[in-house]
Structures are given as C-alpha cells and as structure tokens.
C-alpha cells in the first residue's frame, strides 16, 4: 500500500483493513492449531501402530463391493430390548453423536427413528487407540459394530432404547461421512421456540428442503413418511375390500379437464399437451366402461402460482369414483367410511410415529366420529351467521370462514373431520348434478379435516343432454369437451366421487402447518430441486 492510497482511504476502509488484519491473524492461529493437531494425530497413530493389541478390532475396511457373503446377522436397533441382555450381536447404524471422555467414548447409534447408546471403554477388549478412533468417527458415518447388550440401571432418557446399552467390542466404518454437515440433525428436530430460549440454532424450512436427504433422516421426517405410507396402504386396503378396482390413468392429456387455467403445458412432438389436473375424466370413463367402483393413486398437477402453506404444484391424488344405486349419499358413506378406516388404522397402528412427530410439532390428537358427521350448507351458514359472519346464501366459503366453521363444528361436535353437503350449484363445476328439490343447490360435498378442505366431490351429471345444457350455462366451448360428453351417450350409470390430496391428509392428521413437511420432495412455484 502506498502512502497516497492510505491517505485517500476513508475511515471505514481503515476499519475494514483492521478487521481484515485481525481475521488474517485468527486464520493463521487456526492453521497453526490445525497443524499441531494433525501432527499430534499422526504421532498418535504412529504410537498406535507401535503397541495396539486391538488393531484388528477397528478400522476402515475396504469398500463393500460384494466381495464376500458373510453369515452375519445384523440386529435392528428397535429390537434391542432387555431380553437380548448379555448377548453378543452385530449391528449396522449411523453415528448420531459421539462424546469422548478420557478412557471411554459414548456413541449414540441411530437407525431410522430408533437410537441406542453405545460405549467404547479402554479395557481388555478395547485399546486406548480404539477409543480414540471411535471418538474421531465423523457424525452420520455408517458403522458396523459388534457389541454385547447390557441392561442399564437408570433409563437412558435421550434414546428410544432406554433399557439397554451396547458395549462395543469391534467397530468398523462402512461409509464415512464428510466432517461438516450442511445442517445438524439435532437442530432440525428441535421444537419451534425451544431453540430461541436456549440460544441454540434452529433450521428453517428452506435449509431443510435444500438438504432434504439429511433432513429426511430426522426422527420426525422418518415418522411422517411412515405415516404417509400408512395412509396409502389403508386407503388401498379399505377400498379393495369394498370391491374397488385400482386403475392407472395417463398424466399427459390433450385437453384441460377442469377449465383452461392452472394447467402445465408440455411440448408433445409437434403439438402441445397438458399435465393432468385430476384423473376426473378417466375415472368417469371407467365408470361408463362398467368398472363400477374405481380408485387411483397418482400424481396430480396444478399450475396455480399460489405460495401458501397448503398448495403444491405436484401432489399425490387419491381419487375415488363409484356408481351408486339411487342416492349419492351412498358415495359419501363409502368415502367417509374409508377415511374413518384410515384414521382408525393410524390411531391403532402408528402410535409411535404420531408421538414422534408430536414431540417436535405438538398438536391435539385427531378426533372423529363414526359414522362421519354430515352437515348441510344451510346449517353451516346458520352457524356462521350466529357467529356474526354475514354471507350470501349462494356465496362460496372463503378460507377464513372455512376455518371458523371448522372451529364451530369442533366446539359443538368435537370432531376434526366432517362433511359439508349440498353446496350452491353456482360455485361448483359444470358436471355437478343439481339438487332435484332446490335448483339453487347441488348434490355436491366437501370434506374437511381440522377446518381445511381435503376433498371436493359430487354426483356427476351422467346424462349427455343435461351435461350439454350445464356446459352451455357455464359458457364452455362444447367442441373442446366433445369426447367427454360423448362418453355418456351410450348408457352411463349414475355415479359420484371425489379426490383427496395425500399430503394434505397427512399434514392435517398430524396437525402440521406446512404441506412441504409431508411432501418428500416438494414442488411449488419456487422450488424444482432437489
């Protein structure tokens, strides 16, 4: 630096250069420390090579390329119970945390949502060097461990396996993790608010989603997606038992199914095509093709540019369509019963997972009635009116009113799940069957969980003539929906159905606040990766 330059420099720059100097100094100190450490480590290692009796009991074996097929049985962490006490077992798990304390090193070994405490202590099985090696294994590395199971006198509160600990006899690193993690798992599972009090870090949603692979390892995520898989299984099982047939429908379609807006256009050779907003058309065609009762689990696309807690651009739709005998309430009964079976199945079989999620995101247990409560739109309006909401008779429910209604229903009936029936015809799509007794209303219904809509359904018009009239009333270009209307010309049974968003059901059942938490790799207007 020349003198002129120094003179010309402002105070600020001086300050900066001072800061820079300090920084440099610090870095130099750091490097020196690092070098010291490394040399020490090297020395230690040299030392260990000299007199380590436990040399074969630890280390980094060659990468597993399927060289040998061992007859070794790897025990699962969740199966570690006092019954296994004093047995010598093998185990593969991640190093969740490690803490070295003089002659011993405590590890928490994690497998999915379960963890157990393990201990390497200097003795006749483990050498000083082995303890050192164990302490230096980076977090999230995968290790193979041979250990004996020991009962503990005091419960280990921080682990899921509270009654036993492992005394490690051998430890091998199968896959080493990089030392620096983009986020700490403990930070990611900390309940909201708790971190702030203790001055600890919390991880925000975007960081979690950017590093989804690591975030998905947290006990909370593990539990959420197990519950989600449960919802899918229960949905399938219940409907299959009711005589439904699972169908697969195309997702690349030639015309938008629910109006022209909100569809993704994709280039399709020389023309363009759309991504399906719902399998609606195909479900109905299957009904016309005598499949009677069908359901479909698959991706659904919405090109809505809404960045809310409950909208995704791609989600998994659980769709139902069924022919009924005389009254569309047969359809409502069938769908609500399916939902109740799902809730019951979750309540009875996924208690561990629900409790795990509740630890991070506390919420009231999900309540429901069997048979499901069904209210009519006019009743809902009367309840809202009593609560002081002014609303027109044929007006659609706004989101705040929807939530308020949910609270009112919860207060009176103590249920988080109910059906709202007989919506005004004006607010429903053209294929909705009008109410025979009152032209203002329709045979349509919504279902709500914790005051948020999860399903929208109706009896569909199965008469080509009436369908044409309704389409014209809605000013829809008849040419564009010709093939749809034509499917009903050759005899179509009366039918109805609805579609549920899997992510929404999971979110609301668990009482979570953001749908991205229940989507494994969420897609929204601002997120296309990972």
- Dig out the tokens for 191 from the structure: 């309940």
Cα–Cα nearest to 518, from 509, 529, 510, 507: 507
In the list 183, 369, 391, 466, the residue contacting another protein (rule: CB under 8 A) is 369
Q: What positions carry a catalytic annotation? A: 302, 304, 310-311, 453, 456, 504
State how far the Cα of 337 lies from the Cα of 528, in Å rounded to an integer. 36
Q: Does 347 bind another protein (CB under 8 A)?
A: yes
Residue 460 has what DSSP assignment?
B
- Dig out the tokens for 196 from the structure: 């702030």
In the list 133, 324, 343, 448, the residue contacting another protein (rule: CB under 8 A) is 343
Site residue total, another protein (CB under 8 A): 31
Q: Pairing relation of β-strands 88-101 and 74-75? A: parallel
State how far the Cα of 502 lies from the Cα of 465, in Å rounded to an integer. 35
By beta-carbon proximity to another protein, the closer residue of 403 and 523 is 403
Q: Does 379 bind another protein (CB under 8 A)?
A: yes
By beta-carbon proximity to another protein, the closer residue of 127 and 415 is 415
CA 30 remoteness from chain centre:
41
In the list 19, 412, 473, 489, the residue contacting another protein (rule: CB under 8 A) is 412
Q: Does 381 bind another protein (CB under 8 A)?
A: yes
C-beta separation of 427 from 445 below 8 A: no
By beta-carbon proximity to another protein, the closer residue of 11 and 411 is 411
- Dig out the tokens for 145 from the structure: 């461990």
Q: Does 385 bind another protein (CB under 8 A)?
A: yes
State how far the Cα of 399 lies from the Cα of 404, in Å rounded to an integer. 9
Minimum CB separation from another protein for residue 229, in Å? Answer: 22
By beta-carbon proximity to another protein, the closer residue of 274 and 343 is 343
User: CA dihedral defined by 446, 336, 365, 354, rounded to 10 degrees?
Assistant: -110
Q: Does 351 bind another protein (CB under 8 A)?
A: no
Q: Does 371 bind another protein (CB under 8 A)?
A: yes
In the list 437, 475, 490, 526, the residue contacting another protein (rule: CB under 8 A) is 437
Contact segment (CB under 8 A) with another protein among 283-291, 295-303, 385-393, 514-522 equals 385-393
Omega of the bond leading into 371 within 30 degrees of 0 (cis) = yes
Q: Does 355 bind another protein (CB under 8 A)?
A: no
Contact segment (CB under 8 A) with another protein among 235-243, 258-266, 365-373, 520-528 equals 365-373
Q: Does 337 bind another protein (CB under 8 A)?
A: no
Minimum CB separation from another protein for residue 516, in Å? Answer: 27
At residue 281, the 3 state secondary structure works out as helix
Q: Does 440 bind another protein (CB under 8 A)?
A: no
Minimum CB separation from another protein for residue 358, in Å? Answer: 16
User: Residues 356-359: contacts with CB within 8 Å, 24+ apart?
Assistant: 356/113, 356/219, 356/220, 356/222, 356/223, 357/220, 357/223, 357/224, 357/227, 357/510, 357/512, 358/510, 358/511, 359/189, 359/191, 359/219, 359/220
- Sites of contact with another protein (CB under 8 A): 327, 329, 343-344, 347, 365-371, 373-376, 378-379, 381-383, 385-387, 408, 411-415, 437
């Amino acid at each position: 630096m020349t003198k002129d330059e120094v003179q010309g420099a402002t105070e600020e720059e001086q300050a900066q250069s001072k800061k820079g100097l300090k920084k440099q100094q610090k870095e130099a100190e750091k490097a020196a420390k690092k070098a010291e450490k490394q040399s020490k480590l090297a020395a230690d290692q040299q030392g260990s090579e000299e007199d380590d009796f436990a040399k074969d009991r630890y280390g980094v074996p060659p990468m597993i390329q399927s060289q040998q097929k061992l007859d070794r049985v790897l025990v699962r962490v969740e199966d570690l119970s006092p019954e296994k006490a004093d047995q010598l077992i093998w185990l593969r798990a991640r190093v969740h945390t490690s803490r070295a304390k003089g002659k011993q090193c405590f590890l928490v070994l994690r497998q999915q949502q379960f963890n157990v405490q393990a201990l390497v202590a200097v003795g006749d099985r483990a050498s000083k060097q082995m303890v050192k090696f164990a302490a230096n294994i980076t977090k999230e590395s995968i290790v193979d461990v041979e250990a004996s199971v020991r009962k503990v006198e005091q419960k280990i509160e921080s682990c899921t396996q509270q009654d036993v600990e492992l005394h490690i006899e051998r430890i091998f690193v199968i896959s080493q993790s990089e030392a620096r993690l983009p986020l700490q798992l403990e930070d990611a599972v900390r309940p909201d608010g708790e971190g702030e009090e203790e001055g600890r870090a919390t991880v925000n949603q975007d960081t979690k989603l950017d590093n989804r692979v690591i975030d998905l390892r947290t006990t909370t995520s593990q539990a959420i997606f197990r519950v989600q898989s449960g919802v899918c299984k229960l949905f399938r099982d219940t409907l299959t038992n009711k005589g439904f047939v699972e169908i697969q429908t195309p997702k690349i379609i030639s015309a938008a199914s629910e109006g022209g807006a909100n569809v993704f256009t994709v280039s399709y050779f020389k023309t363009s095509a759309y991504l399906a907003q719902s399998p609606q058309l195909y479900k109905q065609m299957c009904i016309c093709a005598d499949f009677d009762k069908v359901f479909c689990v698959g991706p659904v696309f919405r090109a809505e540019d809404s960045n809310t807690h409950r909208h995704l651009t791609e989600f998994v739709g659980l769709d139902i369509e069924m022919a009924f005998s005389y009254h569309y309430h047969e359809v409502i009964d069938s769908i609500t019963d399916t939902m109740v079976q799902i809730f019951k199945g979750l309540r009875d079989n996924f208690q561990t997972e629900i409790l795990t999620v509740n630890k991070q995101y506390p919420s009231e247990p999900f309540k429901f009635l069997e048979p499901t409560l069904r209210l009519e739109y006019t009743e809902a309006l009367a309840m809202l009116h009593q609560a002081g909401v002014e609303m027109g008779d044929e007006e659609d429910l706004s989101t705040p009113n929807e939530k308020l209604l949910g609270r009112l229903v919860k207060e009176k009936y103590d249920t988080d799940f109910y059906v709202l029936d007989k919506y005004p015809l004006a607010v429903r799509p053209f294929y909705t069957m009008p109410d025979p007794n009152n032209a203002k209303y329709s045979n349509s219904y919504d279902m709500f969980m914790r005051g948020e809509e999860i399903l929208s359904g109706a009896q569909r018009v199965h008469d080509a003539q009436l369908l044409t009239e309704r389409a014209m009333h809605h000013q829809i270009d008849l040419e564009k929906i010709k093939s749809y209307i034509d499917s009903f010309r050759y005899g179509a049974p009366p039918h109805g159905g609805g579609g549920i968003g899997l992510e929404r059901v999971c979110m609301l059942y668990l009482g979570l606040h953001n749908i991205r938490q229940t989507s494994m790799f969420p897609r929204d207007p601002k997120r296309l990766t990972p």
